[in-house]
Structure 1
């Protein structure tokens, strides 16, 4: 099924597995993790459910790497192409995320050991992706068609994934940290995303809180990995990320009422 003699091509993007993810023909090889059996069960479920927006799990190779199907298209890495930051691209991501949540609702996570789950108010509804970063979404013809890198997937909720997505894609941060044409449009794009997703009213009332928790949760993961010697995350934090994170926390507090008002 798999030709081990094919050339390995490093795949660019991401920090956690930087330099350790390769393409071999029409497959992707990635390091195994303690939660890999859970992720593999999730990907099998998505395939059985007919959800086309995720890689297929194909097995484990002779180097103890998981083998996934290669999803053709473009994952967004810096410098971000303008077409990936359009409102239409944002809409397509919202629809993709909604369709993922619909497909995963029938999956039972109980038999498996997962990565760290989101905090209790935002966990237990479904297995959320938990890392809807720009480089974890594959586009074709300007439209989001697949989610990749399910390493952080764990029992969470739909609103948690929406919080992660709008935080990074709107984006929700001080304008000083937005150096593309999204600057000044974060609140507009926040509302546009939740409308395209069809977020229920009950979740809109807790989305702003979820965004703040998601910001903290993600930086806790990065900080813990850096403290444990992860070179990529250590480099990221040393480049001013902690200062940006703190100023963004302050911005969430200052803008909480405006963020909530735009969702009503």
Structure 2
């Protein structure tokens, strides 16, 4: 749900497009990004300040609030992966760099205390924990420079979870793990091998690998519940996305996970 591709704007504000949740409401002003504040913005800001304090360079910095009540973040230079996807973003090298960036983020955030903050909905109990996971490592929420993933953006869904949960969600999107008829690029037919490559590159422990296939299904259900709930509540962008194919793809992909659970486990063996 990234806002990261520039379009022409006026008055010094350059709209950033590519996301869904805040479509049309995120702009770049110089080296800053202005975004709507949320009920959980204080938690996100505490998280981002921690990442800055521990020297993690792969996330925006919190700069304050502007005169219109919008949060002000630093602009992360680089390229986010938005459709039509460039060939370099679908390579195994790009995939490996995303896995390593996610691992580095988890190391940086491991010392952050999430207590005392109001967070967005958390992952379900089997995958809950104290590690604040990004929860939306979609292609358009990763910034690349020189073909390598260097930063995560759009922490709106970040909340306490677990490593296996974040790895499952990211691998599901980047491999990708879905029926081949829903993959229209060079990754078609390579989902299982790329799934293994992502997990190996992250370095997930054996115990978490055993839970990973269940986490993939849980991540799929959780993510589409976020989308479906927003659509049911009248969010126009999510409604458009949900009713123009996403609902059907979600149902078919979920069944694919159930039918191919053994293949997913074998891919990690």
Please classify the TM superposition score into its range, dividing by the shorter chain length.
Answer: over 0.9
Out of 113, 119, 124, the residue aligned to residue 108 of structure 1 is 113
**2:101 — aligned with what?**
96
Out of 128, 145, 154, the residue aligned to residue 150 of structure 2 is 145
SS of 2:244's partner is helix
**1:207 — aligned with what?**
212
SS of 1:11's partner is strand
Q: TM-score, normalised by structure 2?
A: 0.95
**2:28 — aligned with what?**
23
| Distance in 1 separating the partners of 2:206 and 2:196 | 12
Q: TM-score, normalised by structure 1?
A: 0.97
| Distance in 2 separating the partners of 1:125 and 1:80 | 34
Structure 1: 5+ residue stretches without partners: none
| Distance in 2 separating the partners of 1:158 and 1:52 | 20
User: Cα distance, 1:124 vs. partner?
Assistant: 1.2
Confirm whether residue 242 of structure 1 aligns to residue 239 of structure 2. no
SS of 1:262's partner is helix
| Distance in 2 separating the partners of 1:132 and 1:90 | 12
| Distance in 2 separating the partners of 1:67 and 1:6 | 17
User: Cα distance, 1:52 vs. partner?
Assistant: 0.3
| Distance in 1 separating the partners of 2:108 and 2:54 | 6
| Distance in 2 separating the partners of 1:107 and 1:225 | 29
Confirm whether residue 128 of structure 1 aligns to residue 128 of structure 2. no
Q: Check whether the contact 1:89–1:142 (CA below 8 A) recurs between aligned residues.
A: yes
| Distance in 1 separating the partners of 2:68 and 2:43 | 20
| Distance in 1 separating the partners of 2:267 and 2:168 | 14
Confirm whether residue 184 of structure 1 aligns to residue 189 of structure 2. yes
Q: Check whether the contact 2:231–2:239 (CA below 8 A) recurs between aligned residues.
A: yes
Q: Check whether the contact 2:44–2:158 (CA below 8 A) recurs between aligned residues.
A: yes
Q: How many residues align?
A: 260
SS of 1:145's partner is strand
Confirm whether residue 252 of structure 1 aligns to residue 226 of structure 2. no
User: Cα distance, 1:6 vs. partner?
Assistant: 6.5
SS of 2:19's partner is coil
Q: What is the CA deviation profile of residues 134-166 of structure 1, one whole-angstrom value per residue up to 9, with x for unaligned ones?
A: 110000010000000000000011111111111
Q: What is the CA deviation profile of residues 32-66 of structure 1, one whole-angstrom value per residue up to 9, with x for unaligned ones?
A: 00000000000000000100000000001111110
User: Cα distance, 1:241 vs. partner?
Assistant: 1.1
SS of 2:144's partner is strand
| Distance in 2 separating the partners of 1:19 and 1:67 | 16
**2:233 — aligned with what?**
228
**1:262 — aligned with what?**
267
Runs of 4+ in 1 over 4 A off after TM superposition: none
1:34-49 pair list within 5 angstroms: 34-49=39-54
User: Cα distance, 1:125 vs. partner?
Assistant: 3.5
Structure 2: 5+ residue stretches without partners: 1-9
